[in-house]
Each structure stands twice: as structure tokens, then as C-alpha cells.
């Protein structure tokens, strides 16, 4: 998970351009909703990141359908909006999970509940399909009254280390358990939001699977470091060096940073235990 810079564009112009590209009666319905939509845009900006406090704008059913149509039935201005939102380098990787390529736009406040934000740039966040699907129309945890997900445009990711991984080495398996913990000084509300974001997007399972795939591909390097006179100390040093590089680029809570530091501190893994992630042998026919 990571923050991205909010798009710098005139949202009223975006609305007007998309409206002008529509045919009647959709254009007329969008024009009729414009005043309420523009007011809602201002309220969103003023409330961010606590946009869960907003009350949906009052629009008619036909206006609601027109606003949904403005997003889902693409015109040249809507395609241009998509391109501009996905253009920044930091948007290439999904900011919700930090794993997959962004291929969709997520409505942070769902358009089903807030149709006025259907084409509002600050409500449209580049995301991967898995995060978009898992977010659905969820907004607030009813038990804690805390927003379930970080808003990539407005919520800063804490510099305190809150992501951890427990490493257990067995004879035939490497067990990894990612979790969120509350560091000293972090508010309860921020901790609950991070934990909810992590749980709702199934990041523990996704980080674990991706880690095992990555480590399988790194096995040959571990063997070279270990056998070329370096032993476990060399393996640990290489893991720490990579963790430093990733932290400099992505911050202390990037999943690779957490993984590599934990493995560097695990004597069993560094002292030959990495063989547990050895790729299966492939025969001449390409079969495992």
C-alpha cells in the first residue's frame, strides 16, 4: 500500500466536457444535476480524507442513471480522464495493495451510493481488479465507526513500522504469516484503519503467496552467496541490503522490506534452510 499524488485537474471542466459529449436525454439530465454535483465536489475536498462523513447528494433516479452512464459508457473526454489518472508512475502499481498492476479505476466512495462522484477525479483511484472487487461498496466498519480503507490520495502511510511477518521453517515448507501490529505512539483509530484495510483486501494471504513465488525465483542466488565462501552471514547481508534498497524506494512497510529483514534475521533460513524454496526439477520435456 502506498500514497499517490492527487490528480491536478479542474473537476468542473471534466464534468462539463463529459456532459457535452453525451447525447440527449442524458446530457440534459447531467446538466440538471450539475449544481448539486459541483457542491458535492467542494464538500468532498473539504472533508477529505474523512469523506465517510458526507451525506449523498439528492438527485433523481434519472439523474443517478445519467451520472452512472457518464462513467460507464465512455466518451472521448472520459477516456482522456482515465488516461490522465493512470499516467503517473506511482499509479502503475495498485496503491491499495502495492502488489498488482493498476488496470481499473476504483470509486473510493462507491458510485452506487454516491452517484455524484461517478466522474469526480479525486474519487477515482487507480487500482488492480482484485482490490476493486474486494472493496465493493464498503466504507465504514459498523463496529468501530472507522473507515475501512486508506484513501491513497489523502491518507499518509505512517513511517512507523506496522507490518510484520512471522517466519517459521519446517523440513518441507516455509511458513509466513503477515500481520499488522500497533506501534508505540500510533492512535487506536489509525491502527484499526490499517488493520481493516489489510484484512478486507486479504493482504496477508496475497503477500504470503507472492513472497513464496519470489523466493523460489531467488533460490539460485541464495545458493551462490552461501557456497562461495560467504555462508549464512553473506545470505543475511544480501537480504538486508535488498531490504535497505526497497525501503529507500517504498518506505518501511513495503512487503518486500518486511520479508527480507525477517529472513535476514532467521538463522535457519540463511544457514541453508533456503533450500525449502528450491524450485522443483524440470525434465527435458519441460515437466516438473
Q: Which of 73-87, 137-151, 262-276 has the lowest mean pLDDT?
A: 137-151
Stretch 156-162: mean pLDDT, rounded? 90
Stretch 231-241: mean pLDDT, rounded? 94
- Residues 6+ away with beta carbon under 8 Å from 172: 276
pLDDT at 287: 54
Dump pLDDT digits (tens) for 104-132: 999 999 999 999 999 999 999 999 999 99
From first CA to last CA, the distance across the chain in angstroms is: 35
Asked whether residue 138 carries a pLDDT value surpassing 90, the answer given is no
Alpha helical stretches, state H, 201-270: 203-225, 231-250, 255-264, 267-270
CA–CA separation, 16 and 33 (whole Å) = 11
pLDDT at 286: 52
How many C-beta atoms surround the C-beta of residue 163 within 10 A? 21
Q: Which helix (H) or strand (E) holds 62?
A: helix 61-72
Asked whether residue 141 carries a pLDDT value surpassing 90, the answer given is no
Asked whether residue 280 carries a pLDDT value surpassing 90, the answer given is no
CA–CA separation, 103 and 195 (whole Å) = 25
Length of the chain, in residues: 288
Per-residue DSSP letter, 92: S
- Band of pLDDT at residue 2, cut at 50, 70 and 90: confident
pLDDT at 1: 78
pTM for the whole structure:
0.88
CA–CA separation, 181 and 183 (whole Å) = 6
Dump pLDDT digits (tens) for 162-221: 999 999 999 889 999 999 999 999 999 899 999 999 999 999 999 999 999 999 999 999
CA–CA separation, 46 and 40 (whole Å) = 10
Taking alpha carbons only, the member of 57, 35, 30, 50 closest to residue 108 is 50
CB crowding 60-71: b at 16 or more within 10 Å, else e? eeebbebbebbb
DSSP string for residues in 121-161: GGGEEEE-HHHHHHHTT--B-TTT--BSS--TTTPPPPSS-
Asked whether residue 228 carries a pLDDT value surpassing 90, the answer given is no
Stretch 254-283: mean pLDDT, rounded? 90
Stretch 151-164: mean pLDDT, rounded? 92
Domain residue ranges in the chain: 11-135, 163-277
pLDDT at 87: 87
**Cα separations in angstroms, 82 against 96, 109, 178, 197:** 18, 17, 33, 25
Do 142 and 113 contact (CB within 8 A), yes or no?
no
Sequence-distant contacts of 216-221: CB under 8 A, at least 24 apart: 216/277, 216/278, 216/279, 217/279, 218/277, 219/274, 219/275, 219/277, 219/278, 219/279
Asked whether residue 266 carries a pLDDT value surpassing 70, the answer given is yes
Taking alpha carbons only, the member of 85, 69, 90, 92 closest to residue 19 is 69
SS3 19: helix
- Residues 6+ away with beta carbon under 8 Å from 96: 1, 106, 125, 127, 128, 131, 135, 149, 150, 152, 197, 201
Dump pLDDT digits (tens) for 32-45: 999 999 999 999 99
Do 155 and 95 contact (CB within 8 A), yes or no?
no
- Band of pLDDT at residue 283, cut at 50, 70 and 90: low
Q: Exposed (0-12), middle (13-18) or buried (19+): which is 279, by Cβ within 10 Å? A: exposed
State the chain's mean pLDDT as an integer.
Answer: 91
Taking alpha carbons only, the member of 127, 97, 67 closest to residue 198 is 97
Amino acid at each position: 500500500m502506498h500514497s499517490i499524488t492527487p490528480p491536478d485537474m479542474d473537476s468542473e471542466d471534466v464534468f462539463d466536457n463529459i456532459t457535452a459529449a453525451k447525447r440527449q436525454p442524458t446530457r440534459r439530465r447531467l446538466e440538471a444535476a450539475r449544481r448539486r454535483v459541483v457542491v458535492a465536489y467542494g464538500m468532498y475536498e473539504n472533508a477529505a480524507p474523512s469523506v465517510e462523513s458526507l451525506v449523498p447528494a439528492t438527485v433523481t433516479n434519472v439523474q443517478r442513471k445519467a451520472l452512472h452512464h457518464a462513467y460507464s459508457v465512455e466518451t472521448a473526454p472520459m477516456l482522456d480522464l482515465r488516461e490522465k489518472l493512470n499516467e503517473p508512475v506511482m499509479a502503475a502499481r495498485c496503491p491499495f495493495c502495492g502488489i498488482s498492476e493498476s488496470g481499473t479505476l476504483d470509486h473510493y466512495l462507491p458510485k452506487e451510493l454516491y452517484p455524484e462522484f461517478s466522474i469526480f477525479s479525486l474519487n477515482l483511484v487507480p487500482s488492480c481488479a482484485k482490490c476493486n472487487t474486494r472493496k465493493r461498496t464498503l466504507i465504514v466498519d459498523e463496529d468501530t465507526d472507522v473507515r475501512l480503507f486508506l484513501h491513497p490520495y489523502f491518507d499518509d502511510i505512517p513511517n512507523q513500522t506496522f507490518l510484520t511477518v512471522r517466519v517459521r521453517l519446517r523440513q518441507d515448507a516455509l511458513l509466513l504469516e503477515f500481520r499488522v501490529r500497533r506501534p508505540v505512539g500510533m492512535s487506536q483509530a489509525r491502527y484499526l484503519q490499517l488493520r481493516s484495510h489489510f484484512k478486507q483486501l486479504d493482504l496477508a494471504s496475497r503477500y504470503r503467496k507472492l513472497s513464496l513465488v519470489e523466493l523460489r525465483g531467488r533460490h539460485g542466488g541464495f545458493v551462490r552467496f552461501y557456497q562461495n565462501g560467504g555462508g549464512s552471514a553473506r545470505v543475511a547481508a544480501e537480504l538486508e541490503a535488498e531490504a535497505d534498497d526497497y525501503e529507500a524506494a517504498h518506505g518501511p512497510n513495503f512487503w518486500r522490506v518486511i520479508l527480507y529483514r525477517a529472513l535476514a534475521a532467521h538463522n535457519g533460513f540463511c544457514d541453508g534452510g533456503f533450500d525449502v524454496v528450491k524450485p522443483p526439477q524440470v525434465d527435458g520435456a519441460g515437466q516438473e
